[in-house]
Structure 1
Amino acid sequence: MGILYFAEGFPLGMFFDVFPVHFRQQGVNLSEIGFLSLLGLAWTLKFLWAPAVDHYRHHRRWMGIVDLGMGAVMLALAIHAGFGPWTWVAIGVFTLLSATNDIAIDGYTIELLDKRELGLANGLRIGFYRVGMLTAGFVLILSDYLGWAGTYLAAALLFFLLAFVCQRAPQERAPGRVHGLTLRAELRGLLVHPLPFGGVLLFLLGTLWLVNRATHWSQDHEQFWFYAGTVAGLAWLVSVLRHRRNGDARALTEGPMFGTLLSMLTRPYMLPVIGFILIFKLGDAAMGFMVKPFWVDAGFSASQIGLVSVNLGLVLSIAGGVAGGWYTDRVGILRALWVLGLMQIVSNLGYVWAAAVLPLGVDQALIPLQHQVLMYAASGLESFTGGLGTAAFLAFLMAIVDQRHSATEYALLSSVFALSRSLAGWAGGFGAEAMGYADYFLLTVFLGFPAFLLLPWVARMLVQATGKNCDNTN
């Protein structure tokens, strides 16, 4: 389990910590780096194809194939470690493969283990997932010694090794297809419900737009977007007509994914709570993807970024999570959201100060010691308080899910949070480029406050879900 969850954490670390540093060193502008974060939507939307992986089973095969695929992407980057239109496609494939790997590993774990083993497995999962992300930080340090081609080659070899290890994992207990879980039930129910069906259509159009953004292939087909929009609109109209004709919600509730989603949306206070989930960590999310480019522009080396911002930052984030979990248990979820949420917002001021003081474009050897200390302190404060806020936030998500559908509901709610992270990272590139780092980081402080306006509905949801005042201890 430890090795498998290491294989989950390592690609995420490559995406969020290695790619932004590499591309900024290549001179890629901030808006393009911010746009890169949209490719991380694969982790947000992986629940869309999770039923297919569950249906066809053979999770070890899925894991081995996608690890080989991610290794091949690393080899491609090693051969041509620059930045061009093909890079968007390569990284998009990388994130899709990584998200599919997550689905297969989670399914394999649930299928293989007895319930009495889940506690130990979950502990290993959290620990080794973080180790995988830490390893990406060490890969970043390698770039100062091996160059980017050697760095990506080392990452490729690690992925190939992980593919081999996955095939040596114990055999699943039920490797065949599970015929009771079919895509037909999902798709039939989805078609008669216009709201979720429209969301899927928008997702497909957005995927086409991302591909076009990378390759510009639609320039030779001027009417493509008109026809694509027309087809999507007609398909949605068919869904509306079928919904009016049938008037039956049972078809959708047959499916494990969309049925749970619609059932969850009908619960009282759910819409403002979803708004809260989207924006509670918006300040952190908006700043997060621009932090590594700021380090590069301030003159810090890849080794310093990997050691302090990535590895030490991750350790402090874990420590913040432990401290935040203890505090949440002591004072209750609602009060923890208030206090720890404010702390995670205010901590962004450390980077505001650093961005206002540190000159950009300075050679690494000329950075004064006091400026290095300021940057390290800003990074440590932001990482630790981010862990504090995450602990309260995850406790809130776990508290409000229906225990009858806990895994599916938690996956859907965490996907809502991940969606805001990707969209905020995309917008952050334009914001930092237009405003400068200091003003943009200051803006992220104010982005965190609107979530507190939704806490009255959060309190009502917590009372409804737990049946008690969530300000109380325990």
Structure 2
Amino acid sequence: MSTSPLPVTDPTPDPPSTMPRSQRLTLVALLYCTQNLSLGMFTYAFLTIAQANGVSLATIGAATGLATLLVLKFLWAPLVDRYGSSRLGHYRGWLVATQSLLAVGAASLALLDPAEDFAIALVIYAALFIVAGTQDVAADAATTRLLTPSDRGIGNGFQSAGSCVAQIVGGGLVLLVYGAAGWAAAALVLAVWSALPLPFVLAWNEKTTTATQPRPRVTRKTITQFFTRPGVARWALLLLPVYTAGGTISYNLVRPMLVDAGWSESEIGTVVVIAGSAFGIVSGVTAGMFIRRLGRRLSLVALGLTQVAACLGTVALALGSDGRTAVILVVALSNIGFAASGAIVYTISMDLVRHESAGTDFTLFTTVSGIAMAVAGGLGIAAAGSAGFVPVTVFAALLAAAGVVVVGRGITPVLAAMPSEVP
């Protein structure tokens, strides 16, 4: 017997006044600013320190694959929606557990030596990535249910900025503390940072703030009907990949171009990781405010044009504009465009989720997006290796511009499938 597609339901009336808007936004911001800290520390600090202390490059390369555990979170996302604590609150219980485990796990790294205890540290990081993936699912679901449609732009601006915070803290601050006080102190700093959202999570009364919404639940039918709902397949499988492809290719070429231009790793770390991430934080939050004021359609076009500008800057870099001022400008544009586009992509994806399966739905969107971006970035770097940076960056700019046009014209059915409350 055939089944009709489930409608996109949203229904999010304003949450009760028991939790003011400022507190809701603060909770969301802290959750998103801490969820990728373990990945940032692993990628930018732990592996670098281990290599500097004698771990072979081949071993380091193999270890980087451990981070793929974060991509697999879609496998257990339905469990987060289906099972929860009635006493603590469904998603609140998951967040209390995961934030605590992230803090304890980071603190346990202080007992190890990054090189001598490399294998044990990898086991701890594997556990941290599974916990971080679970926290990500619960945080996305909580955000969907906590925020009104008009506040989702700001909330997802925080999400877009959050990955930049993880790079600065996990890759910048941790390395600075390591240089000044050693590995144990660096790990404890990460543990303290990971625990920052806990007081706000504990203060959140989930039952009262989400009392009018459907009870979280996931069945096999919920999952199989994900792409059959109006607007979902069009957004996830066509518009989203087309919109992000050009900017992703361009963004991923900046670091290889600087290496090719003779920049040292420390210079790249300072300019790309720290300064670039700072621009990304400002851009993500600012983009969220734009989304609230402009609405979805205009924001897609306006923020998509920032990607085009970023791609054009990368073309200039490929043509030889590699002076420090020019590079900083290109890095700024690249991170601004990447974070701004991320904010609107996350917002529209969140508009399309069902509140009873918010964690599962949003995770499926981000999984599709992550795969598309990984493929685009990888192909771009491979193409640059054979054809050179100039033609690939020009292609990326043209692709980004085409993406804005295609999405601007093709987004109408997606927006029509959204609830009337969505601006």
Q: CA deviation at 1:376?
A: 0.5
Partner of residue 267, structure 1: 229
- Alpha-carbon distance in structure 2 between the residues aligned to 1:123 and 1:460: 22
* Contact 2:217/2:356 (8 A) holds in 1: no
Partner of residue 338, structure 1: 301
- Alpha-carbon distance in structure 2 between the residues aligned to 1:294 and 1:88: 31
Matched, 1:8 2:35: yes
Question: Which ranges in structure 2 are unaligned for 5 or more consecutive residues?
Answer: 1-26, 86-92, 207-215
Query: Which residue type is aligned with residue 270 of structure 1?
Result: V
Q: CA deviation at 1:404?
A: 5.7
Matches within 5 A, 1:77-116: 78-79=114-115, 95-103=129-137
Matched, 1:388 2:421: no
Partner of residue 244, structure 1: none
Aligned length: 368
Partner of residue 328, structure 2: 376
Partner of residue 357, structure 1: 320
Matches within 5 A, 1:156-171: 156-161=187-192, 170=202
Structure 1 residues 325 and 97, CA, compared in 2 at 3 Å: closer, same or farther? Answer: closer
**Match of residue 349, structure 2, among 397, 406, 412:** 397
- Alpha-carbon distance in structure 1 between the residues aligned to 2:289 and 2:277: 19
- Alpha-carbon distance in structure 2 between the residues aligned to 1:438 and 1:19: 34
TM-score (norm 1): 0.58
- Alpha-carbon distance in structure 2 between the residues aligned to 1:420 and 1:95: 21
Query: Which residue type is aligned with residue 282 of structure 2?
Result: A
Q: CA deviation at 1:357?
A: 1.3
Structure 1 residues 6 and 109, CA, compared in 2 at 3 Å: closer, same or farther? Answer: same
- Alpha-carbon distance in structure 2 between the residues aligned to 1:416 and 1:373: 36
- Alpha-carbon distance in structure 2 between the residues aligned to 1:272 and 1:71: 44
Structure 1 residues 467 and 350, CA, compared in 2 at 3 Å: closer, same or farther? Answer: same
Partner of residue 77, structure 2: 50
* Contact 1:285/1:425 (8 A) holds in 2: yes
Matches within 5 A, 1:58-457: 59=94, 60-69=96-105, 78-79=114-115, 95-103=129-137, 131-139=165-173, 142=176, 146=179, 155-161=186-192, 170=202, 256=218, 258-274=220-236, 275-357=238-320, 371-402=323-354, 405-406=357-358, 408-449=360-401, 451=403, 452-453=405-406, 455-457=408-410
Cα RMSD, aligned residues only: 5.0
Q: CA deviation at 1:49?
A: 1.3
* Contact 2:171/2:273 (8 A) holds in 1: yes
- Alpha-carbon distance in structure 2 between the residues aligned to 1:164 and 1:93: 17
Among the aligned pairs, what percent are the same residue? Answer: 22
* Contact 2:74/2:363 (8 A) holds in 1: yes
Q: CA deviation at 1:454?
A: 5.2
Question: Which ranges in structure 1 are unaligned for 5 or more consecutive residues?
Answer: 175-253, 359-369
Query: Which residue type is aligned with residue 158 of structure 1?
Result: V
Of structures 1 and 2, the one with the larger relative CO (CA 8 A, separation 6+) is: 2
* Contact 1:62/1:101 (8 A) holds in 2: yes
Q: CA deviation at 1:372?
A: 0.8
- Alpha-carbon distance in structure 1 between the residues aligned to 2:117 and 2:253: 21
Name which one, 1 or 2, has greater alpha-carbon Rg: 1
Q: CA deviation at 1:24?
A: 11
* Contact 1:20/1:293 (8 A) holds in 2: no
TM-score (norm 2): 0.64
Structure 1 residues 39 and 357, CA, compared in 2 at 3 Å: closer, same or farther? Answer: farther
* Contact 1:43/1:418 (8 A) holds in 2: no
Q: CA deviation at 1:392?
A: 3.1
Q: CA deviation at 1:383?
A: 1.7
Structure 1 residues 104 and 265, CA, compared in 2 at 3 Å: closer, same or farther? Answer: closer
Structure 1 residues 71 and 428, CA, compared in 2 at 3 Å: closer, same or farther? Answer: farther
Query: Deviation digits for residues 182-204 of structure 1, max 9, x if unmatched?
Result: xxxxxxxxxxxxxxxxxxxxxxx
Query: Which residue type is aligned with residue 146 of structure 1?
Result: G
Q: CA deviation at 1:99?
A: 1.6
Query: Which residue type is aligned with residue 264 of structure 1?
Result: F
Structure 1 residues 165 and 450, CA, compared in 2 at 3 Å: closer, same or farther? Answer: closer
* Contact 2:246/2:397 (8 A) holds in 1: yes
SS at match of 1:45: helix
